Structure 1
């Protein structure tokens, strides 16, 4: 399945939105395992009916369906399902499960990620190195920041960490709590999976 995180925000130009996170997940139910592959947003590809452009531009030209098509062609795999979340929904999703614990390998102090470059009077969000419990706003900064020497590589690694932290948080919950938590989280995500499908994967 394809996990897509878009940079669309309330009040922003939806037509100019791009996919900030592009992750393909393969779930093997026979082994109870999942493999995760990130596609760097700046990967140059030949987008159908558009031409050469960055991978994240596919979302701008055709939404999540275009992103899935290009990912499938790039990786040579069939992608049967998807889940999409935008910036604001990411905050709600993490808060819906009570926050997540992640290992931060490098201190994050990034005004682009916490949106204070464009809004200097906004609240700064700085994430210290080490094991941290992140709320929704902090998790969004953790997933967005590119202020690293290797740029997008650490960023995509952090995005995978965040996804696994979300999954582990849900799996550690009592089984009786799962339906309610997943139903709440489902309100923050656009997906072609039903709540029953998601519970069966968990």
Structure 2
């Protein structure tokens, strides 16, 4: 067959048409084989060898994804390996372009039946787009991954869990035009069981007052009796004061992929809950919408009518709402989800916290491997703009494994809101006892 394909009877239109289909199909399925059978054997052997190497690597990656996902993710967080992957993918993209164009030359379209020429050429173009385009997209995605890893995540060694859990401070920062600096309007802690992956989300109201600090923490040095500024001393003000007044307390913050505002909030939340919090994640709410849009939107069920808009005009007069979220199911884009999460029209901060929790849960549900793969470049671009964390890259594979376990279990939520907690006069000893029982229920049970 090889000799017939290599030296065909060019006057036989039917055979030349059949030969064209064979060569195009072979180039699509086994790049390089068309050249081995009908063209430059040296180029064909090179292309065929490269294709076999690619298949072997692809099989290895699939097996690792199934049986050694942690190792695969660890490798994927090594930026030098991603750089090698980019070069390899670009090599394959160029190689497959060369092989496809050479296959079109070997086909000799002028000898193909006129009715089949467009289809043969069309299949070649589809093959070119499918094979080379996929390799090029992979290279661009790997580049976006390097940018995301270098921009968002920290460098540093892996850390063991504290009392069997990983506690992560989650801050939703809002730097509106009417504010001096950023203020975290959403404050919560995700506590993850290091063995089971069970997640407990603890919500902290932004208007919590008289916050204590753990002895030995930087803010304890200047306020050993807790946060007392003389008037309403709300916990979310500490971010701005940490940036403006107490930055000297945290000289190493920037070097550790943090900032004094985050560190002041971490000191405060550790004092409120009585736990150690080694990591934080800060999300800029102004860019929050971009991340949701990059994910393709989120699904939210609104159980009761929710008004949105400004409570007052610029003169302090009450105004009607700009609109309502009526009860029902919504597929929200970023702007709509942000409006739903932030609205306080005619309601309380505590109901707003519930809305924010809904949005957080919806994002977790939507953040599936399929979503990440199909929207990776957009998610990476949005993520590096809106997210900052001190979680080291070396911990990502471990946290991804934990996330897989977490999806199999319901998330436990607990908000420190009235009537359990009076934000203006909280009982922090009682809060510490509640949080300890919540995170370590076995140790909280009385001995028989």
Normalising by structure 2, we get a TM-score of 0.39
Give me the whole-angstrom Cα distance separating, in 1, the residues matched to 2:281 and 2:235.
17
Pick one of 154, 157, 175 that aligns with 1:8: 175
Secondary structure of the corresponding residue to residue 44 of structure 1: coil
Partner in structure 2 of residue 71 of structure 1: 269
Which residue of the other structure, out of 224, 227, 235, is the alignment partner of 1:55? 235
Per-residue CA distance 1:89-133 (angstroms, 9 max, x = gap): 1111211211111122232222138xx956xxxxx5642222211
- Deviation at 1:163? 0.9
> Which residues of 2 match residues 1-202 of structure 1 at below 5 A?
1-9=168-176, 13-15=179-181, 17-46=182-211, 48=219, 49=223, 51-52=228-229, 53-62=233-242, 63-112=261-310, 117=313, 124=322, 126-147=324-345, 149=347, 151-171=348-368, 173=370, 176-177=373-374, 180=377, 183-187=380-384, 188-194=386-392, 197-198=395-396, 200-201=399-400, 202=403
Q: Distance in 1 between matches of 2:377 and 2:285?
A: 23
Higher helix fraction: Structure 1 or Structure 2?
A: 2
5+ long unaligned stretches in structure 1: 119-123
* Shift, 1:46, TM fit: 3.5
Give the Cα separation in 1 of the matches to 2:208 and 2:271.
Answer: 13
SS in 2 for 1:54: coil
Q: Give the match's secondary structure for 1:41.
A: coil
In structure 2, the residue matched to 1:121 is none
Normalised to the residue count of structure 1, the TM-score between the two structures is: 0.80
SS at match of 1:93: helix
CA 181–25 in structure 1, closer or farther in 2 if over 3 Å, else same: farther
Structure 1 residues 156 and 198 mapped into 2: Cα distance closer, same or farther (>3 Å)?
Answer: farther
CA distance in 2, matches of 1:136, 1:125: 17
- SS, match of residue 51 in structure 1: coil
For 2:235 and 2:355, locate their aligned partners in 1 and report how far apart those are by CA, in whole Å: 19
Instruction: Provide the C-alpha distance between the structure 2 equivalents of 1:99 and 1:195, rounded to a whole number of angstroms.
Output: 27
- Secondary structure in 2 aligned to 1:101? strand
Q: What is the Cα deviation at residue 186 of structure 1? A: 2.7
Question: Structure 1 or 2: larger strand share?
Answer: 1
CA–CA distance in structure 2, aligned partners of residues 43 and 96 of structure 1: 33
Q: Is the 8 A contact 2:171 2:281 kept in 1?
A: yes
In 2, distance between residues paired with 1:144 and 1:69?
Answer: 25
The alpha-carbon distance between structure 1 residues 193 and 78, as it changes in their structure 2 partners (threshold 3 A), is same
Task: Give the total of aligned pairs.
Answer: 192
**Partners of 1:104 and 1:72 in 2: how far apart?**
33
Q: 1:68 to 1:178 in 2, by over 3 A?
A: farther
CA distance in 2, matches of 1:175, 1:95: 12
Give unpaired runs (5+ residues) of structure 2. 1-167, 213-218, 243-260, 315-321, 404-448
Separation (CA, whole Å) in 2 of partners of 1:170 and 1:194: 20
Query: What secondary structure, in the 3-state scheme, does the structure 1 residue paired with 2:188 have?
Result: strand
Residues 1:156 and 1:130: Cα distance change in structure 2 (over 3 Å)? same
